[in-house]
Amino acid sequence: MDRIRLGNEEFEGRNNAYVLAAGETPGASRGGGETADSDDLALVDTGIATPGVREDLRDGLADRGHAFADIDDIVLTHFHVDHAGLAGEIQAESDATVYVHEADAPLVDGDADAVAAVEDRRRELLEEWGLPADARTELLEFLEAASTIEGEPADVTPIEDGDVLEVGGYRLEAVHAPGHAAGLCCFELDGGREAFVGDALLPVYTPNVGGADVRVDRPLKRYLHTLEDLADRDYDRVWPGHRDPIEDPTARAREIIDHHRDRAENVVAVLDEYGPADAWTVSEHLFGDLEGIHILHGPGEAFAHLDHLRHEGAVTVEDGTYRLVTESVSPEEIV
């Protein structure tokens, strides 16, 4: 297994694509008529569909004796374009099988109804969260511009939690890990001591919940459950969708849980100091001025916490405005 580091200036940056190739003969290329790999060749994630990232991936494969046309299987951790953007293009060149969790399959497949449903839900939430008209306009313009880097749709093979894939000479077991995305999956490597984790666990910043995938119901609760599951699995090392490997994933999962506990306390403090507020106002107090995709991620994160606090009885909501409940439950007890 090998990692290709990819650029990504549009979103959070430094994506990874992982190359799985058993029986490899270094320096040979099937694209040139020779056999570089006596078994299958697979990718885990592909990067975003921009010229720079496309070049990064082509060059990274070429350095390893491969080309897009050589790819037999593509395993996607989730539907976000910085992970799945080049899947359709690679499939068109190679006829690769593209695997993704069934919850994200319609979006990677470019299903018009699924895409429209996401856009409709996003617009509903922007209204509910209280985004001002200028912020909403800026965000929608950003998303419209970003649609040009989504890449081509892929013909996908849906998978479920527990499915086992035999790709690139490796055995990968799917572990559904929703929260950041409805269909996010980790993939345990042979023996289960290591895993590809996509954006379920990141080494530097914390994955967004609430705004990153507006389809997820109870996003913070689902993500906290994912973090507890990852901590319980006690992997020796995990390979994230961004940046470097995480050498103590259990500690990192616990650290992110603590981060969300602190954030819940900050959300309660905002409501206590400033009074009832919508998600956008809470987001302003938490994160300040926002631009680009963060106009969605900021209030989305605030909403995820407010929604969790509401279900736990710490706040109430009416017409998008949240207020503290007298003698409410402490965030330490519910996160």
* pLDDT computed for residue 148 by the predictor: 81
Q: Is residue 44 part of a domain?
A: yes
Q: Is residue 273 part of a domain?
A: no
* pLDDT computed for residue 333 by the predictor: 66
Q: Is residue 141 part of a domain?
A: no
Q: Is residue 104 part of a domain?
A: yes
How many structural domains compose the chain? 1
CB 231 within 8 Å of CB 197: no
Structural domain boundaries, residue 71: 2-112+147-247
CA atoms within 13 A on the CB side of 264: 26
* pLDDT computed for residue 32 by the predictor: 35
Q: Is residue 95 part of a domain?
A: yes
CA atoms within 13 A on the CB side of 328: 22
Which residues does the chain have with pLDDT short of 70?
9-13, 23-39, 326-334
As a three-state string, the secondary structure of 112-125 is: HHHHHHHHHHHHHH
* pLDDT computed for residue 263 by the predictor: 96
Q: Is residue 33 part of a domain?
A: yes
* pLDDT computed for residue 325 by the predictor: 92
CATH number, domain containing residue 36: 3.60.15.10
SS3 call for 24: strand
Q: Is residue 300 part of a domain?
A: no
* pLDDT computed for residue 323 by the predictor: 96
Angstrom CA distances, 180 to 63, 131, 277, stand at 33, 21, 24
- 78 sits in the region (left: phi over 0; alpha: psi -120 to 50; else beta) called beta
Q: Is residue 307 part of a domain?
A: no
Taking only the tens place, the pLDDT of each residue in 77-98 is 999 999 999 999 999 999 999 9
* pLDDT computed for residue 12 by the predictor: 61
